[in-house]
Amino acid sequence: MHVDQIIANALLVDGTGTPPATGAVALTGDRIMGVGALPGWTADEVIDAAGLALAPGFIDAHTHDDAALLGGDLAPKISQGVTTVVTGNCGVSLAPLRLAPGASLPGPLDCIADPAWFRFDSFAAWTAALADAGTTTNVVPLVGHGTLRVKVMDRIDRPASEGEIVQMEALVDEAMAAGAFGLSSGLFYPLAAAAPASEVTRLAVRAAAHGGVYTAHIRDEGDHVIAALEEAIGIAADAGLPLILSHHKVSGRANHGRSRETLALIARAATRQPVWLDAYPYAAGSTMLNERSCAASSRTLVTWCASRPEFAGQDLADVARTLGLSEAEAIAALQPAGAIYFMMDEADVERILCCPETMIGSDGIPADAHPHPRLWGSFARVLGHYSRQRGLFSLEEAVRRMTALPAARFRLADRGVLAAGAHADLVLFDPDAVADKATFADPCQPSAGIHWVMVNGVRVWDQGSATGARPGRIVVRA
C-alpha cells in the first residue's frame, strides 16, 4: 500500500483507552488509511515520531467559540491539541440572532462575542458563513435556548408564552436541519432564569425528534445543586433525549465535598436514561460578573469590563477599593463585565475528573480580555498535571475522555479514534513534557509539549505557531 504520509515509531494512544503501543499511522488526504506495524507500506513522506505520542485530535466538549471560529485562528484551542469544538453551550449560541444596531445584548450573550457578531438571522446563515470562511477546527454546533428567548421575546424576565414557544420550536427545527447537534440551556442566567422546565422541555422535544442531545448549565451549582440536577434530568427524561451536564461542579464553601452526592445522583439517573457530563480541570469558574457567584467565592478576578477595560485582570476587592465602593456597588458599576470565581474545592474537581463518564470541556471564553486559563490550558492540564503528575488516571484514559468518549456521546461520524477510515484529526505530543502554561496571572499562553496538530489531514499548529490553514468542517452526525 502506498500513501501520502506515514507517521512512524510513535506511541499510539488510539482514543479507546487501550494501553498505548509503538506503531505507525498512514494517511492519504483527509483520512487515516492504516494503523499499526504496517509492514511493506510506503509513503511520499515518512515522519519519524520516536519518543512522541500520537493521539486523535482532542474534542473540546464545551466551548463558546461560535464567533471565534469566524474571526481568528483558534490558537487557544489548537495549541493544546484540540481539533473539534462543541459550540453554543450554556444556552448562548451566536445564531440565530440578528441584533439591531445599538441594541443591547443581555449577559451572558455579551460574554461570547461583541454585539456586531450577532448578525445571523437563521442557524443556516451562520453555518453557511462558517463554510464560506473556512474554520481552523471542526465544529459541532448546538443551538441555545437563551439566544432563542432573546430572538422571540420582548422581555426575558418572564416565562415564554405559548405563541413564543411555538416560534422557538420552529427555530430549533431550523437549527437541527442546518446541522445542530442539539439544544443547550443556561437556566442559571437572568436570560433564562424565568423559564420553567416545561418551556425547555418543549424545545428539547424538537431536538430529540432530530436525534439531538440536550446540554445543561443547570439552574444552581451551589446550595440547590441537587434540585437543579433533578430538573435537568427531568427535562431530558420528559423530552426523551440524552442529557449532558455542563461543566459539572459544586460551588461555594458550604457545598465543598458535595460532588459525592451529585456524582451518586448522576450515576443513579444514568441507570434509567442517558446522563453524561463534562468538566474543566480548575477549581475556579468564570462567567458574567454577578453577585451570586461573588458571594460563593473566596476571591473574584475581573476578566473584562466594557466601561473600564483597565480593570481586566484585577481583583474585584482591589477594584472596589480603587473606586471607593463596596464590592456589591462595584459589581453594579462595572456592568457589563466578566469575572473568574475561586469557588470550588480541589477535591471535588479531582473526584469529578475521575468519573469515567467525564468528558473534558474547556468552557473557555475567547472574547475575554483576561480570560480564565482554562481557555488555553484545559487539555494540556489534564494530560500533564492530572494524569502524569497527580496520577488520577493513565495517559490512555486521559486521552479517551478527550476523544472517543465525546465522539461517541455526540455521535461524531469517524472521529475520536486512530483507526483506518477515520478522519485524520491528529495531535503529536511529548507525553513527558505536555503541560499547561496558562495561569490566572498570565492566561494567554500556549501549552508545552504539543509538536503539531492536524485537522482533516492538514496541519493547523506546527512547532509553536498556527499555520493559518482552515481545513475544519461542520461535523456530520453518525
List interacting residues with Zn ion (CB under 5 A). 90, 217
Region label for 118, one of left (φ > 0), alpha (ψ between -120 and 50) or beta (otherwise): beta
Candidates 89, 135, 112, 80; CA nearest to 376 is 80
CA 443 to chain centre: 17
DSSP code per residue over 249-260: ---SGGGTTTHH
DSSP code per residue over 181-223: -EEEEETTSHHHHT--HHHHHHHHHHHHHTT-EEEEE-S-SST
- Alpha carbon distance 332, 336 (integer Å): 9
Tell me how far, at minimum, the Cβ of 62 lies from Cu ion, in Å.
6
Query: Which one of Zn ion, Cu ion, none is in contact with 184 (Cβ closer than 5 to 8 A by kind)?
Result: none
Query: Terminal CA-to-CA distance of the chain, rounded, Å?
Result: 28
Which residues make Cβ contacts (< 8 Å) with residue 268, sequence separation at least 6?
A: none
**Exactly one of 5, 87, 89, 259 binds Cu ion (CB under 5 A); which one?**
89
Query: Which one of Zn ion, Cu ion, none is in contact with 409 (Cβ closer than 5 to 8 A by kind)?
Result: none
Residue 108 or 472 with smaller CB distance to Zn ion: 108
Candidates 203, 136, 125, 195; CA nearest to 165 is 203
Tell me how far, at minimum, the Cβ of 90 lies from Cu ion, in Å.
4
CA atoms within 13 A on the CB side of 252: 15
Query: Which one of Cu ion, Zn ion, none is in contact with 467 (Cβ closer than 5 to 8 A by kind)?
Result: none
Please check whether residue 212 is in contact with residue 180, taking contact to mean a CB–CB distance below 8 angstroms: yes
In terms of DSSP H, where are the helices of 271-373? Answer: 291-295, 316-323, 327-334, 346-354
Please check whether residue 169 is in contact with residue 211, taking contact to mean a CB–CB distance below 8 angstroms: no
- Nine cell digits for residue 23: 506503531
**Exactly one of 65, 164, 348, 363 binds Cu ion (CB under 5 A); which one?**
363
Query: Which one of Zn ion, Cu ion, none is in contact with 110 (Cβ closer than 5 to 8 A by kind)?
Result: none
Amino acid at 249: K
278 binds Cu ion (CB under 5 A): no
Tell me how far, at minimum, the Cβ of 477 lies from Zn ion, in Å.
23
Distances (CA, A) of 140 to 100, 185, 314, 368, 424: 27, 16, 34, 22, 17
Map grid coordinates 482554562 to a residue: 374
Q: Which stretch binds Cu ion (CB under 5 A): 90-98, 190-198, 298-306, 385-393?
A: 90-98
Q: Which stretch binds Cu ion (CB under 5 A): 102-110, 271-279, 362-370, 427-435?
A: 362-370
Query: Which one of Cu ion, Zn ion, none is in contact with 348 (Cβ closer than 5 to 8 A by kind)?
Result: none
Tell me how far, at minimum, the Cβ of 280 lies from Zn ion, in Å.
10
Burial-class residue 110 by CB neighbours within 10 Å (0-12, 13-18, 19+). Answer: buried
CA 169 to chain centre: 24
**Exactly one of 59, 82, 90, 225 binds Cu ion (CB under 5 A); which one?**
90
Query: Which one of Zn ion, Cu ion, none is in contact with 320 (Cβ closer than 5 to 8 A by kind)?
Result: none
Please identify the residue of the shown chain whose CB is closest to the bound Cu ion. Answer: 90
Tell me how far, at minimum, the Cβ of 388 lies from Cu ion, in Å.
27
CA 468 to chain centre: 22
Residue 73 or 278 with smaller CB distance to Cu ion: 278
- Nine cell digits for residue 173: 427545527
299-305: strand order across its sheet: 284-288, 337-342, 299-305
CA atoms within 13 A on the CB side of 54: 26
Map grid coordinates 437572568 to a residue: 190
Tell me how far, at minimum, the Cβ of 130 lies from Cu ion, in Å.
19
Residue 279 or 426 with smaller CB distance to Zn ion: 279
- Nine cell digits for residue 135: 474554520
Query: Which one of Zn ion, Cu ion, none is in contact with 249 (Cβ closer than 5 to 8 A by kind)?
Result: none
Where does this chain bind Cu ion (CB under 5 A)? 89-90, 363
